Amino acid sequence: MMHHLWIAKNLWNELLFHAKQTYANYGRFPTRNSLQIMVKKSGLYSQTQQEIAHRIEMAIWRYCRLKRECKKAGFPRFKSFDRMKSVVYSQKDFWLDKKLEVIPFGAIAIVKHRNVSGVIKTLSLKRESSGRWFAIFSVEEPKGLKATNDGPSIGIDLGLRTFATLSDGTRIANPRHIRRYEEELSFRQRKVWRKKRRSRNRKKAIIRLARTYERLKNSRKDFLHKITRKMAATYSMIALENLACQEMAEQRFGKHINDAGWDTFADMLCYKAENAGCKVVFVNPKETTKKCSNCGKIQDMPLSARSYQCSGCGMLKDRDLNAAENILARATAGHAGSNACGEEREGMPLNETRNREQDSRCATTSLSHEKREPAERI
């Protein structure tokens, strides 16, 4: 398996080099066809090779799109062996029983987390940096009836002190995963530094460090999966701010914004909502904190002010709750008026949504297609 990863890594680098050369010579990137011709005879299965060509194509395509939108984007990079994480096998190269049989490797003992429903289409073998391997199956399920959901509508304000404040007053505390692992991480990191370079003990220490990071990652994911699933099942419409998380993280509180995982939260919510008959609407984050949800007056809100006291109508409310109500109001106001706001995301096939995460987000942005701006609050 390592050998296959190694070939895949070399192939990636070759193709990327080819793409760069083509661009330097002809001023455009190679077509998918020319990439697919190049991958022949690398020693991997044909589908596996082509999947890598496809990855390169997608990476370049994504880069070009971000550039077009004048966003920060880095060109796909050459990979070291550690950075090549997975290879994909097609249907005919493996089968799943009590063990997983992949043709070149034979039977592999696995821990089966759950039964697979639907028709298995592809398998990807993924290596985590901690050295553990995962088998990931993609399946095709027959399209069932669309789920319906007649729960209430809700606006959500994401923050750091409380992870999410819902417009009905519910608060979800920020679990601050990184705090739980901080000590262990620095301990493991120190262990790595103290070991002699290139020694076997250093390797072991690095794996232990990677395991800790993996646990941190898993606990983050677990938390987000649980709350997004619950929300998608409870509400019929969810309004969120269209935050530019990356830009915000670069400015201030980067560690904690990344730890909270607002972006992942939004992505998970979108795809879960699709299956649960729920609708996710993204609204412009401008002045959601500064505006009075009662009379609409706008006043300055320093970060330290935890409650909103309106100088116009005298309303006193929690800062985040006020914002959540504004977000909900923005999302629903659009619906009552024109259909310029908040299209449903249900109709879109899943893979398409995945491929165009950012695009489709723009499409559902309710108030405008303006550039996403870092919101003024944390």
Binding site for Zn ion (CB under 5 A): 292, 294-295, 297, 310, 312-313, 315
Q: How far is the CB of 324 from Zn ion (least distance, A)?
A: 16
Q: How far is the CB of 154 from Zn ion (least distance, A)?
A: 22
Q: Name residues whose C-beta falls within 8 Å of residue 341's C-beta, 6 or more positions apart in sequence.
A: 281, 331, 333, 334, 335, 366, 367
Closer residue to Zn ion (CB): 157 or 325: 325
Closer residue to Zn ion (CB): 225 or 286: 286
Closer residue to Zn ion (CB): 7 or 321: 321
**Tokens 């699709």, residue?**
274
Q: Name residues whose C-beta falls within 8 Å of residue 92's C-beta, 6 or more positions apart in sequence.
A: none
**Tokens 């893979």, residue?**
351
Q: How far is the CB of 311 from Zn ion (least distance, A)?
A: 8
**Tokens 């944390």, residue?**
378
Give the H or E element holding residue 164: strand 162-166
- Name the residue among 343, 377, 375 with its Cα closest to residue 361: 343
* Alpha-carbon separation of residue 178 from 25, 218, 258, 261 (angstroms): 47, 12, 10, 11
Closer residue to Zn ion (CB): 177 or 330: 330
Q: How far is the CB of 353 from Zn ion (least distance, A)?
A: 38
d(C-alpha 359, C-alpha 362), whole Å: 5
Closer residue to Zn ion (CB): 57 or 325: 325
Q: How far is the CB of 54 from Zn ion (least distance, A)?
A: 54
Contact 257, 248 (CB under 8 A): yes
Q: How far is the CB of 286 from Zn ion (least distance, A)?
A: 18
Closer residue to Zn ion (CB): 211 or 317: 317
Q: Say whether 95 sits in a helix, a strand or coil.
A: strand
